[in-house]
A and B are shown apart, each in its own frame.
Chain A
Amino acid sequence: MLSVRDLTVSLGSETAPVDIVAGVSFGLGKGEILGLVGESGCGKSMTSLAVMGLLPQPGPRLRAGKVLLEGCDVTQLQPWQRVEAGHGRIAMIFQEPMTSLNPVRRIGDQIAEAVRVHEGVSAAAALSRARELLEMVRMPDPAMQLSAYPHQLSGGQRQRVMIAIALACRPQVLIADEPTTALDVTIQVQILGLLRELCSRLEMAILFITHDMGVIAQLADRVSVMYAGRIVETAGVESLFGRPRHHYTRGLMDCMPSRNSGARRLPTIAGQPPAPGTVGAGCVFASRCAAVRESCRLAAPPRTEIAQGHEVLCAFPLDGGVAP
């Protein structure tokens, strides 16, 4: 349904671009949750903003690539065309709902506003749709909460409001950028459960962006691991966690405390990710990889489909013995 091809986002001048997202491709089917996981600065948020057409101006720009929503390249459309033609049915929720909500407007009005933009209905009809949307996101006492201000809600409730606003355009794709990172774990499971429910009930696809491998494992159907602007591994969730093939993926899993209960020391990944613009011809992970060979530093690794639906960007992938 959504197909992203060779997405490249760059900073700097036309003549000397610095790629912060370099040739990212992925597909997303109806009712599917794709997890995009990586550490800070890997380009996962820039990828999502580029898909939404929300790259900050001035700043990074989309240098190459296509975002096809049911065959139509939405990067070629003006924002108003995206809304009018219904091609903009990609919605997004962010990490901190407080910064996305207007603090001086009632939440009912804020949801109704989104409904009116997309459906052109009367104010009264929009408000009753807003109430429906609050019910859909399982907001306790939805009729009452329509007249609440954002500061009167808890963090979890605010994120429910954001999801309601996102659902106002009846999206085919929902991009969720670290939507539960600011929430407590007992609230986080409630929001993740809600997203899972909406995904199947509305046949909506979700691109779920996070740094948390645990959340990804329990929520996503498929996972793409991002490092230094590139997707280094994509696989079904069972396959990725059962048999990680990229050395970075394996490193990320190994250093999680919950995977090492009782170990005296945690395994670590030496070094730091390369700064954008310092990436040479070779593999982006070469400087930190424990299994690096001379050829890795010279030529970029090939993208290979190592098993059914399991792609890896590595010249010498792990043989995929079962992870501990």
Chain B
Amino acid sequence: MSGDVVLDVRDLRVSFSVRRAGRKYRVQAVDGASLSVVEGEVLGIVGESGCGKTTVGRSIVGLARPDSGAIRFKGADLIGAGGATLREMRLNVRMVFQDPYASLNPRRVIGDSVAEAGDINGMFGSRAERSAAIAATLTAVGLDPSFATRYPYELSGGQRQRAGIARAILPTPSVVIADEPVSALDVSVQAQVLNLMMDLREQLKLSMVFISHDLGVIGQISNRVAVMYMGRIVEQAGTRTVLDGPLHPYTRSLVAAIPRPDPSRRIVAAIEASEPPSQFARPRGCAYAARCPIASDRCLADVPQLRPAAEDGRLVACHNV
């Protein structure tokens, strides 16, 4: 897919201060991540808990404060932006959260939550115009307009997530950051919400960053995938390229671990325990080295940089592939 880059993230670093046992630690949640989203595409970010994928998403919408790096929306830097630029970008880059129950105000009716961004920006000329906009948006996400006067607790999980999506598309943005939007849902409902997101993307010409731990879901919705491990992107390429022929050893183990509804792929007994290193004691070299079957001495000393690994635009951060 070629087109204009709408969102460009360069060398993003984000750290948090954490207090443990009376001592202060800095946890480097994102450690130099770069990615870009081309107009109309869905970029998937996949990784396991604590890899920094959510922090990347929150940094883009301004909910986390980066230490360094650049986040450009249509060329304008969002870090440190203020006033009109910030307002404009907040309408254009919107977020859908994982748990729609926690992210919808329980004491406000759905209609008010959906219209909030429009209200703040004085978008609606009259009450009638506001109601019409809410009704149209609810219809677009497959909810009856009567849901406008209901409270979140009256909705099922799938309906709540539809409301969460409605809130992110009024007024219509350019980019939607979706952070695990279907992880809390049952598979049959998950399929409905994924279909909705694919439809909206087409109708509203959205670009999307889709964050998930689930490679199956990522494979369904995204055009390209970035795989994260311990705050860094370790592999980035077209979705099929990554899923069908992962190159980085971490991506390989991740793809192999996806549960598949295929009884011929039995779980084999006794896999040696192997877990990511502690966030408080990052290894000096490659963060995956301790778990990696092809690690060499160099991996323990040098952090591998993301570099082109094939002519098809695939990027891999590994010394040994």
B260 and A258 contacting across the interface, CB-CB below 8 Å: yes
Contact A257 B261 (CB under 8 A): no
In angstroms, Cα B188 to Cα A137, docked, is: 34
| B-chain residues with CB within 8 Å of residue A184 when the two chains form the complex | 48-49, 213
- Take A139-B273, A261-B219 as given contacts and tell me if A217 and B257 are in contact as well, using a CB distance cutoff of 8 Å: no
Residues of A within 8 A of B64 (CB): none
Residues in B neighbouring A157, C-beta threshold 8 A: 273, 275
- State which size class the interface on B falls in: 35 or more
B188 x A258 contact (CB < 8 A): no
* B18 located at the interface, meaning its Cβ lies under 8 Å from any Cβ of chain A in the complex: no
**CB under 8 Å from chain B, chain A span 92-146:** 138-140
Chain A residues near B308: list those with CB within 8 A: none
Interface-lining segment among A11-19, A82-90, A247-255: A247-255
Is B301 among interface residues, defined by CB-CB distance under 8 A?
no
Distance A272 CA – B261 CA, assembled complex (angstroms): 23
| Interface membership of B289, Cβ < 8 A | no
Q: Which residues of B contact A251 (CB under 8 A)?
A: 188
Stretch at the interface among B81-89, B117-125, B133-141, B192-200: B192-200
Contact between A190 and B188, CB atoms less than 8 A apart: no
Nearest-Cβ distance from residue A315 to partner chain B, whole angstroms: 22
- Partner of B186 from the list A40, A215, A261 (CB cut-off 8 Å) is A40
Q: Are A218 and B194 in contact (CB under 8 A)?
A: no
B-side interface residues toward A, CB under 8 Å? 48-49, 156, 158, 186-188, 190-192, 194-195, 198, 213-217, 219-220, 240, 243, 253-254, 256-263, 265-275
Overall SS of chain A's interface: helix
B253: chain A residues within 8 A (beta carbon): 186
CB-CB contacts of A32-71 with B at 8 A, as 1s and 0s?
0000000110000000000000000000000000000000
Bound together, the chains give a CA A242 to CA B264 distance in angstroms of: 10
Q: Are B195 and A256 in contact (CB under 8 A)?
A: no
**Contact partner of B263 among A160, A211, A218, A255, CB < 8 A?**
A218
Complex contact A266–B261 (CB within 8 A): no
Q: Is the CB of B220 within 8 A of A266?
A: yes
Tell me, in angstroms, the Cα distance from A253 to B216 when the chains sit together.
13
**Given A257-B194, A268-B191, A268-B195, residue A217 in contact with residue B271 (CB < 8 A):** no
B residues within 8 A CB of A213? 187, 259, 261
Whether the Cβ atoms of B261 and A197 lie closer than 8 Å is no
Are the CB atoms of B259 and A261 closer together than 8 Å?
no
Contact of B219 among A212, A241, A258 (CB under 8 A): A258
Question: Given the interface contacts A251-B188, A255-B187, A257-B216, does A189 sit within 8 Å of B260 by beta carbon?
Answer: no
> Which residue from chain B places its CB closest to the CB of A156 in the assembled complex?
B275
Whose C-beta in chain B lies nearest to the C-beta of A180? Answer: B259
Most buried by B among A157, A252, A253: A252
